[in-house]
Amino acid sequence: MTFTEQISLLITALKAAVGAQDSSEVERITHELAGAAGTFGADALTDRARNATEMCRTGQEAAAFAGAADICMEARATLVAFKAYLAALP
């Protein structure tokens, strides 16, 4: 699975988990998202995902759910930038 495929799948899963108000699933997904983003140096996405993971772990689920839209927006921006970077390679 490519980076872009993985991020896309995780964002879809995150939206579903937030819709179901499933904090353990949001924690798992944001943890995986932070790892994937960190591997490729997507620092802003990594930070947002890590923050949401920590919120879920510390009983701040509502804040994590509320921040999911920002994570999705950052993920989309990351994918656009990543695809542009790949397209510019020789």
Domain boundaries, the chain: 3-88
CATH match for 3-88 among 1.10.3470, 1.20.120, 1.20.1070, 3.40.220:
1.20.120
pLDDT band at 4 (very low <50, low <70, confident <90, very high): very high
Summarised one tens digit per residue, pLDDT across range 6-28 is: 999 999 999 999 999 999 999 99
Read off the pLDDT of each residue in 47-67 and give the average, rounded to a whole number.
97
pTM (whole model) above 0.85? yes
Cβ 80 vs Cβ 44: under 8 Å? no
Compute the distance between CA of residue 2 and CA of residue 53 in angstroms, rounded to an integer: 23
Specify whether the CB–CB gap between 1 and 36 falls below 8 A: no
> 30, 49 in Cβ contact below 8 A?
yes
Are 4 and 16 spatial neighbours (Cβ–Cβ below 8 Å)? no
Which of helix, strand or coil describes residue 11? helix
